[in-house]
Amino acid sequence: MAAQTWFITGSSRGFGRSLAVAALKAGDRVVATARRPGQLAELVERFGDRVLPVALDVTDAAAATAALDAARDRFGRVDVIVNNAGYANVAPVETAPEDDFRRQFETNFWGVYNVSKAALPLLKAQGGGTVVQFSSIGGRVGGSAGLGSYQAAKFAIDGLTRVLAAETAPFGIRYLVVEPSGFATDWAGASMDVQDVPPEYRATVGAFHERARAAGRAAGDPDRAAEILVRVVRREHVPTHLPLGATAARMALDHSRRRTAEAEAWQGVSVSADFGAEYPVDLPADVAEADAQRA
């Protein structure tokens, strides 16, 4: 396959840096973006003119358009768009400062929206491309105490991407939602701010924070994950969603099984809401989900 051009947000560290290196080692070109492009100097020194460092704050829609224009001007086309930039702070929804909750959403969702929207005219004009949206396994299963803004944004990314895939299907644009579990990145390190956790939330939000801080010892290798994604994107057909990591794979399968079992148990009730359907019908046995799974 001919060399491809990648446009990667959040390339200064974590998954973004690993993915930039993996693509460059595979012989591709990379438009590496970061708020502070000086942090990308090592990439340029190592890979030369196959790297274009670009300053980008993904919350700035005009800047996203300008960055993609620079990518096109330098390399002629962009084959792979990677929306990786994002961060999480920890706090209960009840007590989280609203401005912090909104700022996280600005980066984690609106940043993805800005870059995805800005990329569409370019991808349409060149006859296609691949958009890789970084979510998390929490964006599929949810329920991580303390990550209200972050996980809400990840669910929103999934919804947006499904709509984009339907709307742009005739244009040859492909979409892949990546859902990692715990990886050895700085996600739970210096980039994560922990707000005050009231005593009544220490068993839930506090417990999650302690587990998140242990993510530096996580099993996930971001370099391996990056190499996997470079291989996957080169395929003719890509999955719509790709959990990465053993924990992500287990959680995805467990979540799907539980949701399928629940939908089947309530199917009769669901159908009974339509005009002409049998009504009323008995509700399922009133047991906890765990008990229902064992039945």
Annotated catalytic sites, by residue?
135, 150, 154
Q: Is 210 exposed, middle or buried (0-12, 13-18, 19+ CB in 10 A)?
A: exposed
Please write down the long-range contacts of 157-166, taking CB distance under 8 Å and 24 or more positions apart: 157/83, 157/108, 157/109, 157/112, 157/133, 158/133, 158/241, 160/109, 160/112, 160/113, 160/116, 161/116, 161/131, 161/133, 164/116, 164/131, 165/240
CA atoms in the 13 A half-sphere facing the CB of 30 = 30
Q: Is 284 exposed, middle or buried (0-12, 13-18, 19+ CB in 10 A)?
A: middle
Question: Comparing C-alpha atoms, which of 87, 66, 62 is closest to residue 7?
Answer: 66
Residues in a beta bridge with 83: 133
280 contacts 269 by C-beta, under 8 angstroms: no
How far, CA to CA in Å, does 144 sit from each of 91, 93, 205, 207, 209?
11, 11, 8, 10, 10
* Vertex 222: Cα angle to 220 and 225 (nearest 5): 90
List the alpha helices (DSSP H) in the chain: 14-25, 41-47, 61-75, 98-105, 111-126, 138-141, 148-167, 207-213, 222-233, 246-265, 267-271, 289-294
